[in-house]
Chain A
Amino acid sequence: MSRAEKLTDQILERIKGKDVKVKREDILRRMKLLIEEFKVPESEAVRTIMNYLVREYGIPREELFDRDSPLVKIADISKVNQWVSLRAKVVQLWDSNSPNVSQVGLIGDETGIVKFVVWAKASQPEVEEGKSYIFRNVVTDSFQGRMQINVTRTSRIEEIDEDIQLPPREIEVVGSMVAIQQNSGLVKRCNECGRVLNKGVCHQHGKVEGYDDLRIKAVIDDGENVYEIILNEENIKELTGIGLDEALKIAHETLDRNAVLAELKNMLLGRYFRVKGLRGGRYLLVKEISVHKPKADDFNEILEALA
């Protein structure tokens, strides 16, 4: 069956059972003309023909266009192959490693978070992390035992001016600390607002005295994704034995505040950590962090699978 024939049948499917007689050849001829001759994008061809049906056959516009799938909450998605609409926020986008996938990531609403896949063939506008949308006519699916949402060519994505709240999401990752970012180590914070000072200057309050604090902004990389985390003094002391007092001592002895960061980098970079935390915006808010070590059983498991 040609693409034009498939689309024609999809349109006819929509008006099946309505009290109108539409000739398949009529629609098909127009569809072929638009797609095959004039090379109009499929979505435009479909829209043009639906408009034609509204005009010529008097089919109410709502019946053709607004047959939106019911609006549901993510937590209620449990079956595959259900056509639904969702009001959701894009939580995270991953790099797509297939040319067939235009975007892949997570979307969430107040009730939960689910993976979504926008197929390249769906030719949809790109969504952005942190923005909220109505995902109309998306279809539920299951991949490797977990539910996901597929955005297809019949779906519609509309941005909405609303910030959908997400449930707190705890995640656990094991990864290597591949980088420690600027403004880490022994820092000075503003006495008024607690922001980290840049050369003794606060963004908000100008030149202030400031007070000492210890913190690390780091990148945890598990080979598949990167996570930015912030470690506070307590976390740092637990991992390295260096707390604020020790850090100040190092700074005094070396006459160099940067020596603290160098020391911390030596102790932390390249190591594997298990991090439990809440995803909030850009940073993973650390609840627990510990050094991760391998187990002999893990090796045996793969070796057995290899044998």
Chain B
Amino acid sequence: MMRRREVAKRVFAYELLRSTHQIESEGLRYVLTPTGERVNRIFSVAVLLDKEEIGADTNNWRLRLADPTGTFYATVGKFQPEALEAINEMNVPELVAIVGKPRVFEGVSRKLISIRPENIVAVDLSVRDYWVLETARRTLERIEAMEKREGEDVELAWTVYDPDLNEYREMVKKALLTVKEDVEIMEKLEESPHEDEPEEEFDFEEFEFEEEEFDLTDLLED
């Protein structure tokens, strides 16, 4: 049977950064998050703050990205051709949607999570806004499942992380409040596109040119 494509999970940076536990199952690697999500693929909308080539002309890029809850890293190399092409052409900062695989790396003093993007595309604010809404919903569902102690992954998350769920609720709230205002402004603009700020006609009459500045005749005579 064909292997089912792994669903891209929605996780805020704040939670992603605190994910240190990996699970191997049926040849696939998953990251377990503190609210019990099992992640093989992630979908995130974040600001690409910085891109930095690791060594000159290696075409290996380290990306620093931020969503409303935190900053995380991604690395793109030749094995992610689509993302690589996009990164080469992209200027920072830019709001991007990113689909990728999370990996945990063991550093000297701590574990670090990083994303391997499959693709990365510039998007507009409404995508970010909906992503925050969706990720908030999913995170709250997971928090609820944690409270009810539903399922194997949830139990494992309790054992590994013993999270303070209120901390995650606060994070969700903060994220929602950050973008809510934005969405409200967008809605108002759509309702009355031109009423708020009538576009001022540019008044050329008020401009006074010094004649001689624009007199190019002497140049032509040369």
Contacts and interface: CB of A to CB of B under 8 A. Distances in A.
A266 B120 CA distance: 9
Contacts of A226: 4-5, 7
A13 interface: no
B7 A303 contact: no
Interface in A275-307: 292-296, 298-300, 302-303, 305-306
A2 B130 CA distance: 52
A119 B43 CA distance: 31
B67 interface: no
B187 A295 contact: yes
Interface stretch (A61-69, A91-99, A205-213, A232-240): A91-99
A272 interface: yes
Q: Which secondary structure characterizes the binding site on chain A?
A: mixed
Interface in B118-155: 118-119, 121-123, 126-127, 129-131, 133-134, 136-138, 140, 150-153
Given A98-B151, A226-B5, A179 B118 contact: yes
Contacts of B137: 302
B7 A296 contact: no
17 contacts: A128-B1, A178-B119, A179-B118, A221-B7, A221-B8, A223-B134, A262-B85, A269-B121, A272-B131, A293-B186, A294-B133, A295-B183, A295-B187, A296-B184, A299-B176, A302-B136, A306-B173
Find the residue from B121, B150, B152, B184 having the highest chain A CB count within 10 A: B121
Contacts, number: 105
A30 interface: no
A270 interface: yes
A217 interface: no
A270 B169 contact: no
Contacts of A294: 126, 129-130, 133, 183
Contacts of B96: 270
Contact of A223 (B43, B82, B129, B173): B43
Interface of B: 1, 4-5, 7-10, 38, 41, 43, 45, 82, 85, 96-99, 118-119, 121-123, 126-127, 129-131, 133-134, 136-138, 140, 150-153, 169, 172-173, 176-177, 179-180, 183-184, 186-187
A270 B4 contact: no
A93 B1 CA distance: 12
A204 interface: no
A99 B127 CA distance: 35
A144 interface: no
Given A95-B7, A295-B187, A296-B180, A270 B151 contact: no
B5 A98 contact: no
- Most chain-A Cβ atoms within 10 A of its Cβ — which of B118, B126, B150? B126
A270 B98 contact: yes
A219 interface: yes
A269 B5 contact: no
A302 to B, nearest CB: 6
A59 B122 CA distance: 73
Given A223-B43, A294-B133, A270 B7 contact: no
Interface of A: 93, 95, 97-99, 128-129, 176, 178-179, 219, 221, 223-226, 262, 265-266, 269-272, 292-296, 298-300, 302-303, 305-306
A131 to B, nearest CB: 11
Given A270-B127, A296-B187, A299-B183, 6 more contacts: A98-B150, A221-B43, A266-B121, A295-B183, A299-B179, A302-B140
Given A95-B4, A221-B8, A223-B43, A306 B172 contact: yes
Nearest to A298: B133
Nearest to B10: A223
B133 A271 contact: no
Nearest to A226: B5
Nearest to A178: B99
A219 B5 contact: yes
A130 to B, nearest CB: 10
A299 B68 CA distance: 15
A272 B127 contact: yes
Contacts of B179: 299
B176 A303 contact: yes
B123 A178 contact: no
B97 A302 contact: no
B151 A97 contact: yes
B7 A272 contact: no
Contact of A265 (B119, B134, B169, B183): B119
Contact of A303 (B97, B131, B177): B177
